[in-house]
Amino acid sequence: MGRVALDTRNGLDAEREAVIAVLRNERADGRGSVSLRPVTGQSLTGSSPKMIGIDRSGQRFLFKPVRANSFAYEREVAARSIRELAKQPTVAVLKAKMTLDDGTVVHGYAKPMVGTRGDLENDPRDWNAAQIHCVLQDAAFAELLGNYDTRPGQYITPVDAKTGAVLALNVDWDRTFSEYAKNSELSRFKRHFVAPPAASLLYAQYVRGAPVDFSALWDAIDRIDRVKESDYAKAVNGFAKVAFPDSDARKVFVAFAMERKRTLRHQFKEAIAALDEERASGVSRVNQLRDLEFQGSARFADSPAYRQIMAVRRKVSHRIPNFGG
Q: CB-side exposure of 238: number of CA atoms within 13 Å?
A: 17
Between CA 325 and CA 320 the distance in angstroms is: 9
Domain residue spans of the chain = 27-112, 116-317
Residues of the chain with pLDDT > 90: what percent? 72
> In the chain, which ranges are continuous DSSP H helix?
9-25, 72-85, 129-145, 198-206, 215-225, 229-243, 247-262, 264-281, 285-300, 304-317
Q: Does 8 have pLDDT greater than 50? A: no
Q: For residue 308, name the pLDDT band (cuts at 50, 70, 90).
A: low
Q: Does 7 have pLDDT greater than 70? A: no
Between CA 250 and CA 61 the distance in angstroms is: 32
Q: For residue 192, name the pLDDT band (cuts at 50, 70, 90).
A: confident
pLDDT at 1: 38
DSSP state of 159: B
Q: Among residues 62, 65, 52, which one has the least CA distance to residue 104? A: 65
Q: For residue 195, name the pLDDT band (cuts at 50, 70, 90).
A: confident
Q: Which of 41-55, 83-97, 145-159 has the lowest mean pLDDT?
A: 41-55
Contact by Cβ (8 Å): 264, 221: yes
Taking 3-state DSSP, the helix, strand and coil percentages for the chain, each rounded to the nearest 5, stand at 50, 10, 40
Q: What is the mean pLDDT of residues 190-212?
A: 90
Over the stretch 248-303, which tens digit does the pLDDT of each residue have?
A: 999 999 999 999 999 999 999 999 999 999 999 998 888 888 888 877 777 766 65
Report helix, strand or coil for 18.
helix
Q: For residue 6, name the pLDDT band (cuts at 50, 70, 90).
A: very low
Over the stretch 124-159, which tens digit does the pLDDT of each residue have?
A: 999 999 999 999 999 999 999 999 999 999 999 999
Write out the H or E segment, with its range, that includes residue 97.
strand 94-99
Between CA 150 and CA 135 the distance in angstroms is: 9
- The length of the chain, given as a count of residues: 325
Mean pLDDT of the chain: 88
Q: What is the mean pLDDT of residues 8-33?
A: 89
| Type of residue found at 90 | T
Write out the H or E segment, with its range, that includes residue 62.
strand 60-65
pLDDT at 319: 38
Q: What is the mean pLDDT of residues 222-235?
A: 98
Q: Does 48 have pLDDT greater than 80? A: no
CA trace torsion 24, 28, 31, 33 (10° rounding): 140
Q: What is the mean pLDDT of residues 57-73?
A: 93
List the beta bridge partners of residue 111.
Answer: 62
Q: What is the mean pLDDT of residues 186-194?
A: 83
Q: Among residues 239, 217, 277, which one has the least CA distance to residue 80? A: 239
Between CA 146 and CA 132 the distance in angstroms is: 20
Between CA 134 and CA 170 the distance in angstroms is: 8
- Into which CATH architecture does domain 116-317 fall? Orthogonal Bundle (1.10)
Q: For residue 183, name the pLDDT band (cuts at 50, 70, 90).
A: confident
DSSP state of 39: P
Between CA 21 and CA 117 the distance in angstroms is: 17
